Structure 1
Amino acid sequence: MENSLTFEQFCDYFNKESTCIDALFASRWPEGFRCPRCQHAGYYFIRTRTLPLYECQSCRAQTSIIAGTIMEGSRTPLRLWFQALFLHAQPNGISALRLSTLIGTTYKTAWLMCHKIRHAMSSADSKVLLSGIVRINCGVYGRPYNPTIFRHPQEQPLLIGASLDNEHQVTHLKIKQVSDRHLVHDRVTPLGSRLFIRDHVSPETKDIDTVLLKFSRNRHRQLIQIGEQASAWMNYIFSGIGPKHLQSYLDQFCFNVNLRFHPYCFNVLLTYCASFPTLTYPQLTGRMDLSAQRRITYHEYLRSA
């Protein structure tokens, strides 16, 4: 589905559940049905429910079209899910309040849909590692409140990493919230940067440069500007984000940047949502607040350096 479509044109195209079912089937099983239990290709099509079931001809397991996707367990019609995906695939995304108005659901339903979609974005991005020319710089969400080293509670330290091409243009972006365990006041410890490299940079990468000091003359200004853009985007679209769910919004910003030149963002996002299991409401509300974790002491910082 091309990015050039308007929301109205998109709704006209996906105005029936059957059309959405066909598109979701193609995204979930692009090479044809495979039983989730035994990988057998043959199936019986069962039409007695609102959403079809696929019964494996080998092991007889029955699979719903939304089982194993972020939509599993949802009673929201697929066409509304598709509308939400289309709006999230746009460059600026959408807030839950605005989404609930446009697709006609309650705010709670729209809020949960938004977070499930961001969960798919995060899950897909976790499988892609930075490589080639990699630059990493510290950043902050929330304007600096203090001219000293002491951190204001609303300042959320970040690490911003990017793969660059030979012209030093960003080809892939990752922005990660830093746990308080890897901070001394507002400074990211060397251990924190090593963990970022371990988790988000390909082991074969040789050209890595990391700047952890805010006012280093070697800091990567391009990455600092991207961090400022992410902060401005979250403040404008969502009126500010607390630390508990900050990472999922950062992942959405990175999704928008990484696919900014892709002609079929909706198709990519639909594939993500068809490939990863759902995030339940208890899992979502039970997320750990990174700012609530124990802060590292100065002596622990010296030992990690």
Structure 2
Amino acid sequence: MDDFLDFEHFCKKYDKEEACIDALFFARWPEGYCCPRCAHRRCYVIRSRRLPLYECSQCRAQTSLISGTIFEGTRTSLIHWFQAIFLHAAPEGTSAIRLASIIGSTYKTAWLICHKIRHAMSSSQSEELLSGLVRVNWGVYGRPHNPTIYRHPQEQPLLAGASIDKNDQITHLKIMQVAEEHLIYDRITPAGGREFVSRHVNSSTADISVVIQKFSRQRYFPIIQRCYQASQWINHIFNGIGPKHLQAYLDQFCFGFNMTKRDENIFGVLFHHCASTTTLKYPTLINRKNNSAMLKNDYFELLRKAG
């Protein structure tokens, strides 16, 4: 994928469905068609559908252009999908309301497209572990609301980890919500720190520092600053996010941060992941675990007992 100067330039380049089809075909099969069933290299193209269908000339398996991608099952044109991906690759990202106005869709359709693109970002983030010199620190989404130990429903404790280079600069960032089972009110348990390391840090890493306390003297402030920036970005672009979908937005922030640090073509990398990541279905999305209602009830019960 080329670098693009602006959205208008991009839209002119991909203003036809055929151009989008060619780009997606190349992203899926950069060395030419390869049957997912038998790995045969030749196929017949069936063009009687809105999007091409590829029939293997050896085993006769038929493969849709969008099967196995985040686009699978969509009725939205690839032109609008490409525009959505470009906007998500921009530094500020985009909201579902803005996307709906640009591509002329309903809010629900735009919201689902946004989350499918974030799903590709999350899959990309999970592939690479932190390594080298690693620092992990307590963080929070939402301004701390209480001087007490009780956590307000709008406060979401985080653990953020980073790979640090010899110049004390962050080269790779991960920011994760902390599961309820690893929280005691607003405190992260040692088990929460160990789980973060086991899931997100390369096992061969020898130099790891984990700080789970809010006010420890060992805090690593550059990580705290990144958590603050993520919160500011989420609140500015999306007007705040609840705990149910917060992780997807944190993954988007980290994806953009990490790609920028590497001076990568963010659109090209994101498009590749969109073409190689299986889709996120609507029932899976809306049925994500949400502990916010339980937390809210617990919070007000604790305040009542505290007098």
TM-score (norm 1): 0.94
| Compared CA separation, residues 175 and 293, structure 1 to 2 (3 A) | farther
Work out the CA distance in 2 between the residues paired with 1:183 and 1:123.
25
Structure 1 residue 262, shift from structure 2 partner = 2.9
Work out the CA distance in 1 between the residues paired with 2:42 and 2:205.
43
CA contact (8 A) 2:4 2:10 kept: no
Name the amino acid aligned to 1:277: T
1:112 match = 112
Structure 1 residue 195, shift from structure 2 partner = 0.6
Residue 279, structure 1, aligned to residue 280, structure 2 = yes
Aligned residues: percent identity? Answer: 61
Name the amino acid aligned to 2:282: Y
CA contact (8 A) 1:69 1:276 kept: yes
Residue 214, structure 1, aligned to residue 218, structure 2 = no
> CA offsets per residue over residues 224-253 of structure 1, 9 Å max, x none?
000000000000000000000000000000
Work out the CA distance in 1 between the residues paired with 2:53 and 2:2.
29
TM-score (norm 2): 0.93
Secondary structure class of the residue paired with 1:208: strand
Structure 1 residue 59, shift from structure 2 partner = 1.3
Where do residues 195-234 of structure 1 align in structure 2 (5 Å cutoff)? 195-234=195-234
Where do residues 238-277 of structure 1 align in structure 2 (5 Å cutoff)? 238-260=238-260, 261-277=262-278
User: What is the alpha-carbon root mean square deviation over aligned residues?
Assistant: 1.5
1:168 match = 168
Q: Which runs of 5+ in 2 are unaligned?
A: 296-307
Name the amino acid aligned to 1:135: R
CA contact (8 A) 2:174 2:254 kept: yes
CA contact (8 A) 1:136 1:160 kept: yes
> Which stretch shows the higher mean deviation, 71-80 or 50-59?
50-59
2:300 match = none
2:305 match = none
Where do residues 118-157 of structure 1 align in structure 2 (5 Å cutoff)? 118-157=118-157
> CA offsets per residue over residues 134-169 of structure 1, 9 Å max, x none?
100010101000112221111000000011111111
Work out the CA distance in 2 between the residues paired with 1:89 and 1:3.
11
> CA offsets per residue over residues 52-81 of structure 1, 9 Å max, x none?
011112211111110110000001000100
Work out the CA distance in 2 between the residues paired with 1:161 and 1:254.
11
Structure 1 residue 31, shift from structure 2 partner = 2.1
CA contact (8 A) 1:2 1:263 kept: no
Where do residues 43-58 of structure 1 align in structure 2 (5 Å cutoff)? 43-58=43-58
CA contact (8 A) 1:180 1:293 kept: no
2:71 match = 71
Structure 1 residue 87, shift from structure 2 partner = 0.3
Secondary structure class of the residue paired with 1:79: helix
Aligned length: 295
Work out the CA distance in 1 between the residues paired with 2:72 and 2:63.
11
Work out the CA distance in 2 between the residues paired with 1:88 and 1:158.
23
> Which stretch shows the higher mean deviation, 147-156 or 245-254?
147-156
2:298 match = none
Work out the CA distance in 1 between the residues paired with 2:221 and 2:277.
35
Name the amino acid aligned to 1:80: H
Structure 1 residue 177, shift from structure 2 partner = 0.4
Structure 1 residue 28, shift from structure 2 partner = 1.1
Q: Which runs of 4+ in 1 moved over 2 A?
A: 1-4, 290-294
Structure 1 residue 292, shift from structure 2 partner = 5.9
CA contact (8 A) 1:187 1:213 kept: yes
| Compared CA separation, residues 290 and 32, structure 1 to 2 (3 A) | farther
Secondary structure class of the residue paired with 2:127: coil
Q: Which runs of 5+ in 1 are unaligned?
A: 295-305
Work out the CA distance in 2 between the residues paired with 1:234 and 1:114.
14
1:299 match = none
Name the amino acid aligned to 2:19: T
